[in-house]
Amino acid sequence: MVSQELIDEIDATLASQTSVRRLARDDELALIENVAAKFIDDKDALWWWTSLKSPSQRHPYQHDGWRAIIGKLTIGSPSAILVVTDDEFPPWPAYIGPIPELLELISETRSFEFMLVGDALAWLLCDCHSNEIVFCGDREDAVEL
């Protein structure tokens, strides 16, 4: 379970944003089940990016390079759901909103591991503790970075 301290920090950061909101608890639980059903072989794995059902793209980054990578991978997707995993097992808090605002939220809080889920479960993006973005989902072609 993600620490209450991190959730409080995220919620405090959200106080100044009106376009990002936390999902209701039942919606968070349903989202996790749906993401697992579509993308994950072993939903009991701590790091879901190690148990993906389909091929993935892996993009290493340094420092704040994650923002540019995510920006390119999510072009054409106006909104997403941010799932705060922070190297913990579920349940996980989830926040929905425009991708630029979600990225701002991530950058304004302490470093944590997360997943971004595209609209209608079109794609899944995972931030790994090894400073790597892992992306899988419905795309016509691989994104060149």
The structure's pTM equals: 0.91
Report the greatest alpha carbon distance in the chain. Answer: 40
For 87-103, the pLDDT digits (tens) are: 999 999 999 999 999 99
List strand residue ranges (DSSP E) for the chain, in order: 21-22, 57-60, 79-84, 94-98, 114-118, 123-128, 132-137
pLDDT tens-digit map of 39-75: 999 999 999 999 999 999 999 999 889 999 999 999 8
Find the distance separating the first CA and the last CA of the chain, reported in whole Å. Answer: 33
